[in-house]
Amino acid sequence: MSVTRRQYPFDLIEPKWQEHWERHESFRAWNPGDTIPRQHPFAQRHAPGKTLPPKYYILDMFPYPSGAGLHVGHPEGYTATDILARYKRALGLNVLHPMGWDAFGLPAEQYAIRTGQHPRKTTEENIANFKRQIKSLGFSYDWHREIDTTDPAYLRWTQWIFLQLYNSWFNPRTNQAEPIATLACPPEMKTETDKRTYRASKRLAYVSEMPVWWCEQLGTVLANEEVTDGMSEVGGYPAVRKPMRQWMLRITAYAERLLHDLETIDWSHSLKEMQRNWIGRSEGAEIAFKVCRAGSAENTDYFINVFTTRPDTLYGATYMVLAPEHKLVDQISTPEHREVVRQYRALTASKSDLERTELAKEKTGVFTGAHAINPLNGEQIPIWIADYVLLSYGTGAIMAVPAHDARDLEFAQKFHVPIRQVVQAPGGEESIGFLGEGTSVNSGFMTGLPTAEAKKKIISWLEEQGCGRKTINYKLRDWLFSRQRYWGEPFPIIWKNGHHEVVPETDLPVLPPALSDFKPTASGEPPLARAKEWVNLPGGATRETNTMPQWAGSCWYYLRFLDPRNEEIFCGRDAEAYWMGVSKSSPSSGLLSATADKAPSGVDLYIGGTEHAVLHLLYARFWHKVLFDLGHVSTAEPFFKLVNQGLILGEDGQKMSKARGNVVNPDDMIRDYGADSLRLYEMFLGPLEMVKPWNTAGVEGPYRFLGRVWRLLVDEQSETAFEQGLAAEPKKGPELLEKIKLTSAIKDVEPSAPQLKAIHACIKKVTEDLEGLRFNTAISALMIFVNEAMTWKMKPVSVLRDFLILLQPFAPHLAEELFDKLNLQSAIPLPYLPWPVHNPALLVEATLEIPVQINGKVRDRIVVPATATSQELEEAALACEKIKSLIEGKTIKKIIVVPKTLVNIALA
C-alpha cells in the first residue's frame, strides 16, 4: 500500500510536534500549590502565582494493555476526549487529561502459565507498546500522571482502600458507612471473641463460605459460564460445586443510594436503565407461612418466608415452592418423599446456572410431602421444590399464584395443582393468566379493591398479625471480591487462630511473593499459598492468599490521577477538592459548557465503552460512596457526565475480532495517512455514541481535506523544492521541512466581509458542535470553510490564525506546523491561545431568499431585504407571478409567515 503521493509531509510533521510537546511538557496539568515554571505554556496564558483558573477533568476509561495492541476502536473515545481537552484548554480552563494502565488481569497470568514468563515482564512490554501507539496519535495527556495499577506505589493504596472498607460498617440509621469502632456490640456479647465475630459480620468487607465450581483436572476454579452439564468447557473434565472461603464486599447496603443518586448525574438514559436493572429494586412483602406439623413427631415450628410483589393475590396461593438448595428442605420433607427430593436436589446441583435458567425449558419439580398454612385463610397448601425458584433471589421461596403468574401457571398445569382466580382483569380480558393490575375477587376483605389498594390493605393486615411486612427486595448481590489468582493485589490481611486481622497501614504494600508456578494448587488453594515463607508469619499467623479481582484497581484510579505521586495519602486533600469539587464557571465567558453551569462535581466528562456499564461503573460508584461517607472525598458521585462511544465495527459490519480478520490497526493508518487524518476520520464517521462500520477508503476524505489545508497556506514552489530535495536526500527531511514557505497570498490585511462571514460562521458552528459533542458536523464546518477559502486570491492572516485555532483540537500536528510557519511571534503557544468568539453581527445577511409554499409545497422563492416585516413578506409572496397563477380562483384560508424563514399559503 501507500504508493500514492502524500498529501503533505505528515510523517515529518507529526513526530516533530509530538517531540516538541513532550520536551516542553506542554500538557502538564497543575495542582493547587504547584510552582508553575514561568516558561511553561500554561504560564504564558495564566499568570503564575495567581489562583488557578476553573478546572475541567476529562477522563478516558484506561485500557487493559493486552498483547494485541490498540485497534481503531480505542482511539475513538480517546480522540473525542482529546479534542474536548484541547478545546477546554483554549477556553482558559485548567484541564486534567490523564492516561494509565489497568494492568492486573487474567490474560497476562494465563500467558505466564503457558510460557513460564513472569506476568510482570509481559505487562511491561504490553504497556510500552500501548504507550507508543497512544503517543503516536498526538493526544494531549499529562504523562507526568501516568499510573499503572500493578505498580507497588499504586496497589499500596488499593490495599489501603480495602482496609477502609474492612474497617467500616454500614449504619442503616444514618444510611452511611461509619468506622467499625462506632459499632456498639449487643450487651449479651461479653467475650472478645463474641464481639469480634459480631463486628466481622457487620464489616463492609467480610468473609463468607460460597460454593464455586472447582475442576480437579484443570486445578482451577471455573466461572459458571465455563461449566456445562457438570463438565468443564475446556477439556471436558468433571467440575464440582465446592464451598470456598471468599471475601465479599457489602455493596447491597448501598443499593438504595446507588439507585437514587443516578438521578443526580448526567448519564445516558440507557446506561442508567442498565444500572437500575442490575440493582433490580422491587417493592413487595415478605410473608411467613407456617409449616404444618400434622403427623410429625417433632416439636419445632418451621416458618417459610416468601417474597412477593403481589401480596394482594395471597388468596390465590395454591402451593409453595422452595429453591432446591433451600435450608428447610431436609427438615420439612416427609420420610416417604425424601428419596425423590434427594434425587431432584442432586440433579439440580449438577447443573450450571446457565442451564437452569435456559429458555423454553419445561418446568420440573417434586413434592416434599409437606404442607404450609396460608396465614390469611388457614388453608393447607402443598410445598414443592423446583429449580425455577432461585435461592439467590428474594428468600429462595415463593407462594405460587398460578392464576396470575406465568411461571406458576405453567407449573400448575403440568403438575395438576389447583388454579384459583383472585384478580379480575379490566375490560373483560381473560383473567386466568392475567398478570397486570385489576380488581381483587374471591379475596375476602380485599374483594372489590383495585390492586394497589388491596396491596396496602393486606400489608397492614399482615403487619398487624405479625406474619408479614412490607419489604423492598434487590437483585443486586454482595460483590464476591476474592480470586484464586496470582496476578492481582494480595489482601492486606493475616489470619490468626481462625480469625482475620489487618496488616497495619504502615506495612503496606503487601507485595505478591516471587513465584515461578502461577497455576492454582491441586487443593484448590490460590497460587500464593505455594510461597510458604511468604504465607507463614512468625507466631503462627498466615497471610491471606486470595487476591483481589481486576476491578479493584479501576475502582479508584480517577482519584489517583489527581495526585499520582503522593506517598503520604491516596490522594491529597487539596488536589481532591480542586479537581473533584464543584467547578466555578467563569462569569466572563458564555462558552463554558452547560455542564459547568449546572455546577457539576467529580469527573466533568468520562468517555468509554458500554462494556463497563454495570460492573466497573457500579463498583467504582460504590467505593466512591464509601470514601465519601468516611470523609476521604468531597463528592457523592465520581463521574458527573458520562458518554458511551459507539462500537466501531469492521468493514464487513461485524464486530472487529482477530478470528474474523477484520481488525484495523491504527499503526497502519498512521503510516499511510498520518495521525491527524486518523483522528479526523474517527470523528467524521458519525455521531460519537452511534455504532458505525469502519471503511478504510473513507479516510481519504479527511486526508484530502488536510492536504487542502496544507495547500491553502503553503507556497507551491517551495513545496516542489521540498519534494525534490527530499527525493535527493531523504534523511534531510526535518531540515527541508523548515524551508517550506507560506504562500505570498497570505497578507496581514483587513479581511473582506465575505471572508469574515466565512470564518465567523465556522467559529459559531464548530463551537456549538463541540459543546454538543457533535464532532462529525464540526469537521464538516471546517471543510466548508476551507473549500471556500481555497478560492480566495488574498488570504488575511487573522482569518487563517483563527482557523488554525479551530483546527488545533482536531488535527493538532498540522495546525501547529502551519501556525509556526505563520510566524506570528505569539507569546502564547497554539494549544493555549484563546478560543475565538464569533460576532453575530458579521453573519447577518442583507437579503434573504424565502421559499413560498402553497399547502406546504414550495412553489417559488422571493428575495427580500433581511429586515422585511411579516406584512412585507406576505405582500411579496402574493405578488409573485407564479404564485398568483396558482392561487387564481381559489380561496385563501390562511397565510402563515415565519419571519426570515418562509411563507405558506393555505388554500381551502
Partner RNA sequence: GCGCGCGUGGCGAAAUGGCAGACGCGCCAGACUUAGGAUCUGGUCCCGUAAGGGGUGGGAGUUCAAGUCUCCCCGCGCGCACCA
Contacts of RNA in 576-615 (CB under 7 A):
610, 613-614
By CB under 7 A, name the one of 47, 184, 359, 846 that touches RNA: 359
Return the number of the residue (690 or 745) whose C-beta is nearest RNA: 690
Q: What DSSP element (H or E) covers 222?
A: strand 220-222
Return the number of the residue (607 or 830) whose C-beta is nearest RNA: 607
Return the number of the residue (569 or 594) whose C-beta is nearest RNA: 594
From 11-19, 49-57, 662-670, 891-899, span contacting RNA (CB under 7 A): 891-899
| Cα–Cα distance list, 543 to 49, 150, 353, 522 (Å) | 49, 20, 32, 19
Return the number of the residue (120 or 708) whose C-beta is nearest RNA: 708
By CB under 7 A, name the one of 132, 144, 327, 361 that touches RNA: 361
| Cα–Cα distance list, 792 to 179, 391, 707, 787 (Å) | 71, 75, 17, 10
Please, which residues bridge with residue 864 across strands?
848
Return the number of the residue (225 or 379) whose C-beta is nearest RNA: 225
Return the number of the residue (10 or 832) whose C-beta is nearest RNA: 10
Asked if residue 27 lies in contact with residue 135, where contact means CB atoms within 8 angstroms, the answer is no
By CB under 7 A, name the one of 237, 278, 434, 792 that touches RNA: 278
Per CB under 7 A, 774 contacts RNA: yes
Return the number of the residue (166 or 254) whose C-beta is nearest RNA: 254
**What DSSP line would sit under 818-859, residue for residue?**
HHHHHT---SS-GGGSPPP---GGGG--SEEEEEEEETTEEE
Per CB under 7 A, 262 contacts RNA: no
Return the number of the residue (185 or 274) whose C-beta is nearest RNA: 274
From 338-346, 386-394, 452-460, 717-725, span contacting RNA (CB under 7 A): 386-394
Footprint of RNA on 835-864 (CB under 7 A)? 849, 851, 853, 855-858, 861
* Least distance in angstroms from the C-beta of 233 to RNA: 19
Grid cell at residue 268 = 445516558
690 CB contacts (<8 Å, ≥6 apart)? 646
Q: Give me the helices (H) in 33-101, please.
A: 41-45, 74-90
Per CB under 7 A, 53 contacts RNA: no
Return the number of the residue (84 or 385) whose C-beta is nearest RNA: 385
| Cα–Cα distance list, 744 to 714, 715, 741, 794 (Å) | 9, 7, 9, 9
Asked if residue 317 lies in contact with residue 399, where contact means CB atoms within 8 angstroms, the answer is yes
Return the number of the residue (501 or 700) whose C-beta is nearest RNA: 700
55 CB contacts (<8 Å, ≥6 apart)? 93, 94, 95, 96, 578, 579, 583, 604
211 CB contacts (<8 Å, ≥6 apart)? 241, 242, 243, 244
Return the number of the residue (361 or 660) whose C-beta is nearest RNA: 361
* Least distance in angstroms from the C-beta of 94 to RNA: 31
Per CB under 7 A, 522 contacts RNA: no
Torsion, Cα of 776, 780, 783, 784 (10° steps): -170
* Least distance in angstroms from the C-beta of 692 to RNA: 4
Per CB under 7 A, 486 contacts RNA: no
Return the number of the residue (172 or 856) whose C-beta is nearest RNA: 856
Footprint of RNA on 612-651 (CB under 7 A)? 613-614
Asked if residue 645 lies in contact with residue 609, where contact means CB atoms within 8 angstroms, the answer is yes
Footprint of RNA on 705-724 (CB under 7 A)? 705, 707-708, 711
* Least distance in angstroms from the C-beta of 360 to RNA: 9
Return the number of the residue (2 or 35) whose C-beta is nearest RNA: 2
Return the number of the residue (74 or 404) whose C-beta is nearest RNA: 404
* Least distance in angstroms from the C-beta of 620 to RNA: 17
Asked if residue 328 lies in contact with residue 288, where contact means CB atoms within 8 angstroms, the answer is no
Per CB under 7 A, 727 contacts RNA: no
By CB under 7 A, name the one of 119, 394, 509, 812 that touches RNA: 394
Binding letters toward RNA, positions 112-141, x by CB under 7 A: ------------------------------
Per CB under 7 A, 218 contacts RNA: no
Per CB under 7 A, 906 contacts RNA: yes
Footprint of RNA on 308-327 (CB under 7 A)? 308-310, 323
The number of residues making up the chain comes to 908
Asked if residue 63 lies in contact with residue 130, where contact means CB atoms within 8 angstroms, the answer is yes
857 CB contacts (<8 Å, ≥6 apart)? none
Grid cell at residue 767 = 463551537
Q: Which residue reads 514557505 in cell numbers?
A: 741
By CB under 7 A, name the one of 40, 363, 470, 616 that touches RNA: 363
The count of chain residues that interact with RNA, using the rule CB under 7 A, is 86
Per CB under 7 A, 902 contacts RNA: yes
Per CB under 7 A, 432 contacts RNA: no
By CB under 7 A, name the one of 201, 787, 839, 847 that touches RNA: 787
* Least distance in angstroms from the C-beta of 197 to RNA: 29
* Least distance in angstroms from the C-beta of 6 to RNA: 8
Grid cell at residue 899 = 419571519
From 112-120, 243-251, 254-262, 898-906, span contacting RNA (CB under 7 A): 898-906
Per CB under 7 A, 885 contacts RNA: no
* Least distance in angstroms from the C-beta of 884 to RNA: 13
* Least distance in angstroms from the C-beta of 488 to RNA: 23
* Least distance in angstroms from the C-beta of 851 to RNA: 4
The angle formed by the CA atoms of residues 788, 792 and 795, to the nearest 5 degrees, is: 110
Per CB under 7 A, 405 contacts RNA: yes
* Least distance in angstroms from the C-beta of 320 to RNA: 11
SS3 of residue 162 by DSSP: helix
Grid cell at residue 43 = 504560564
The amino acid at 32: P
Return the number of the residue (419 or 529) whose C-beta is nearest RNA: 419
Return the number of the residue (384 or 534) whose C-beta is nearest RNA: 384
Per CB under 7 A, 224 contacts RNA: no
Per CB under 7 A, 389 contacts RNA: yes
Per CB under 7 A, 908 contacts RNA: no
Binding letters toward RNA, positions 673-692, x by CB under 7 A: -----------xxxx--xxx
Per CB under 7 A, 702 contacts RNA: yes
By CB under 7 A, name the one of 294, 514, 697, 728 that touches RNA: 697
Please, which residues bridge with residue 211 across strands?
243
SS3 of residue 905 by DSSP: strand
By CB under 7 A, name the one of 118, 120, 195, 475 that touches RNA: 475
* Least distance in angstroms from the C-beta of 394 to RNA: 3
| Cα–Cα distance list, 639 to 95, 274, 492, 625 (Å) | 16, 16, 28, 12
Return the number of the residue (103 or 376) whose C-beta is nearest RNA: 376
| Cα–Cα distance list, 908 to 341, 881, 885 (Å) | 80, 20, 16
User: What is the Cα Rg of the chain in Å?
Assistant: 34
| Cα–Cα distance list, 423 to 23, 316, 380, 406, 844 (Å) | 75, 9, 21, 14, 67
Which among 252, 253, 247 has a CA at the least distance from the CA of 210?
A: 247
Q: What is the 3-state secondary structure (H, E, C) of 328-386?
A: CHHHHCCHHHHHHHHHHHHHHHCCCHHHHCCCCCCCCCEEEEEEEECCCCCCEEEEEEC
Per CB under 7 A, 671 contacts RNA: no
SS3 of residue 423 by DSSP: strand
Buried b or exposed e, range 460-476, using 16+ CB within 10 angstroms: ebbeeeebbeebebbeb
